[in-house]
Structure 1
């Protein structure tokens, strides 16, 4: 699993948006974070499409949280930003024995599956609220 700048930018934006009472526009956020406006806009639109953010049009438009910070998990944000499932290795989310056809000869799958379970638990339980309050 590779977390890219998209995940980082999504989280940084969500932290700022969560701490404001008014919609935050892309121009302001991109300037505040020192990020590309077009890249940030795509990320925020993805978050809105997944109903993590609400989008408002017009002169005073922008983005606000669509859910409470306690309801937004790190897994939701990462999977939305990365546009794929958070997996350690292609076979790690499988609940069967080695799905790669190696059968009982695969020594790696059990380890990767345990690691995947721990990562899933962390990503499912860490919320935006936790991240904001950790500092």
Structure 2
């Protein structure tokens, strides 16, 4: 599982937004974080589309959390930013996709290990919240 800059920027933005009582605009956030405005805007729009953020238009518009920080998991953030399910390897979701077993799953020796790792990662990402990250 490769976490890209999109996940990092989403998380950094959410930390700042969570600590403010007013909508935060893309210009301010991009300047504060030293990030590309257009790239950050796409990330924030994805977070709004997935109901992690609420967006407000107008002179005093911007983005605010749509949920409480304790309701936003790291898995939600990463999957939204990356636009795909978190996977250790491509065959992680099912033994049938494992090329080592010829698609038969039961013959694959690698999949059970990868599946255990995937379950641990999923559990961690599902239990770590934005609140936990902010308080850490």
TM (norm. structure 1) is 0.93
Q: CA deviation at 1:65?
A: 0.1
Is there any run of 5+ residues in structure 1 with no aligned partner, and where?
Answer: none
Q: Judging changes above 3 Å, is the alpha-carbon distance between structure 1 residues 110 and 97 closer, same or farther for their aligned structure 2 residues?
A: farther
Is there any run of 5+ residues in structure 2 with no aligned partner, and where?
Answer: none
Q: Judging changes above 3 Å, is the alpha-carbon distance between structure 1 residues 70 and 103 closer, same or farther for their aligned structure 2 residues?
A: closer
- Alignment partner, residue 51 of structure 2: 51
Name the Cα RMSD after superposition: 1.7
Contact kept? 1:25, 1:61, Cα under 8 Å: yes
Moved more, 95-104 or 47-56: 95-104
- Alignment partner, residue 28 of structure 1: 28
C-alpha distance in structure 1 between counterparts of 2:98 and 2:64, whole Å: 43
Q: CA deviation at 1:94?
A: 1.9
Task: State the number of aligned residues.
Answer: 134
C-alpha distance in structure 2 between counterparts of 1:131 and 1:95, whole Å: 33
Contact kept? 2:25, 2:62, Cα under 8 Å: yes
- CA displacement, residues 42-86 of structure 1 (integer Å, 9 cap, x when unaligned): 000000000000000000000000000000000000000000000
- Alignment partner, residue 15 of structure 2: 15
Higher RCO structure (Cα 8 Å, ≥6 apart): 1
- Alignment partner, residue 130 of structure 1: 132
TM (norm. structure 2) is 0.93
